[in-house]
């Protein structure tokens, strides 16, 4: 039996098709950048939408776990880290302060 006669499993074929599609989609950005110009307002809306999408993802991760509210300890830890990041604290300080705030609140009995 030759290598060409071996059937390609459907899952592998789907993965290869998705990989090729992703590559072509990413390649189209730089290729079309010079040809297509967006209005200034559309460019600003795209920038804002990316920030809002990341904020929504962070809020969902901070507030819920298994579709249930996590309690106030985790959101307060995230808020602490957010304030320190906004004040341009070093990344390690932001992460340790957020984790420490959450841990201390949970140690104090806050869910």
Residue 53: count other Cβ atoms within 10 Å of its Cβ: 10
Residue 3: band (very low, low, confident or very high) from pLDDT cuts 50, 70, 90: low
If we measure between CA atoms, which residue out of 40, 111, 32 comes closest to residue 69? 111
Give the list of residues 6+ apart from residue 85 with CB closer than 8 angstroms, or none: 94
Task: Provide the token pair at 30.
Answer: 């730089």
The 10s digit of each residue's pLDDT in 8-64 is 789 899 999 999 999 999 999 888 888 888 899 998 998 999 999 998 998 898 899
Task: Provide the token pair at 41.
Answer: 């307002």
User: Average model confidence (pLDDT) for the chain?
Assistant: 91
pLDDT for 93 beyond 80? yes
pLDDT for 6 beyond 80? no
The 10s digit of each residue's pLDDT in 51-63 is 999 989 988 988 9
The 10s digit of each residue's pLDDT in 60-86 is 988 998 889 999 999 999 999 999 999
Alpha helical stretches, state H, the chain: 10-33, 40-63, 73-86, 91-107
Residues 12-45 as b/e (b if ≥16 CB within 10 A, e otherwise) read eeeeeeeeeeeeeeeeeeeeeeeeeeeeeeeeee
* pTM summary value: 0.57
């Amino acid at each position: 039996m030759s290598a060409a006669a071996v059937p390609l499993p459907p899952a592998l074929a789907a993965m290869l098709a998705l990989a090729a599609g992703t590559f072509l989609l990413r390649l189209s950005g730089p290729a079309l950048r010079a040809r297509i110009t967006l209005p200034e307002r559309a460019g600003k809306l795209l920038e804002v939408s990316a920030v809002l999408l990341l904020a929504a993802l962070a809020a969902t991760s901070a507030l819920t776990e298994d579709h249930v509210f996590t309690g106030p300890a985790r959101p307060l830890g995230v808020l602490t880290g957010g304030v320190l990041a906004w004040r341009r604290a070093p990344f390690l300080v932001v992460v340790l302060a957020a984790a420490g705030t959450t841990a201390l609140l949970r140690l104090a009995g806050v869910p």
